[in-house]
Amino acid sequence: MIAAGTQMIAKDGAPGLLAPASPASGEHLGIATYRLLNGCDPADADITDNDAFDRHVLASIVAAAAMDGGAIATRTGLTSQNLSALVAEYFPRARIYLSSWCGGTEAAEDDEVGMVRDLLLGQRSTTGNVGRWLAAMVARRAVEPNHLWEDLGLRDRSELSRLLMRHFAPLASRNTRNMRWKRFFYRMLCEDDGFVMCTTPVCTQCNDFELCFGEESGESRMAERRRDFLIQTAASAAPPRPLA
């Protein structure tokens, strides 16, 4: 997926900052891909300003898609054309990888993905391409099995809340009861488009209450892989135990 042994400048505007284009031995592809795009480990990303936050989110989603295997474009929810445009605008030095990231046949769009994407697109609060790309990316990652923030490769749920409030504020501000975001989208579709998720009109009488309103805590996918990598590295560096 990423040419072994290649190095490149990974952070725009930071000449001399080199990042390996392939995972170091035992390191996870997601972390290596993130570093390739954003020039630092995900754990170290400074997202204080909104532009840096957008770059972090986009790099996280591409990295999460890389972790899943298969064509990255498909797993991000973007067409090859849109992924190319995104990389050109945000991570231009990674353009040399686009041919491998965009390989394969583009699958027909899943109806559910299209409904969530259109829900988001209809309630944007920013202009420009990034909100349009994020609508497609969030919708595609929402069909993955984990918490949505995890399958977007983000570090915690608060980053997903910030992303939605920043780019899709009219929709996100309707989540006044802090419902799980993925379930919230489907609830909105139930109300707006006759999509069927809710078995009762009233949440308090529903058997799925915990699924919709339970905690969304956990360890980020990349932090988990990073921890595994550090444990493996420490184990391989440990001196052999003397024979009894």
Residues that bind ligand SF4 (CB under 6 A): 183, 187, 197-198, 200, 203, 206, 208-209, 212
Residue (182 or 221) nearer to ligand SF4, CB: 182
Sign, CA dihedral 114-178-144-158, equals: positive
What are the residues whose beta carbons fall under 8 Å from the beta carbon of 25, sequence distance 6 or more? none
Dist. CA 206–CA 77, nearest whole Å? 32
Residue (100 or 173) nearer to ligand SF4, CB: 173
94 secondary structure, DSSP code: G
Cβ at position 149, least distance to ligand SF4 in Å: 18
Residue (143 or 197) nearer to ligand SF4, CB: 197
Residue (106 or 210) nearer to ligand SF4, CB: 210
Cβ at position 195, least distance to ligand SF4 in Å: 11
Angstrom distances, CA of residue 190 to CA of 125, 194, 214: 22, 5, 19
Cβ at position 144, least distance to ligand SF4 in Å: 19
Dist. CA 22–CA 96, nearest whole Å? 13
Cβ at position 147, least distance to ligand SF4 in Å: 15
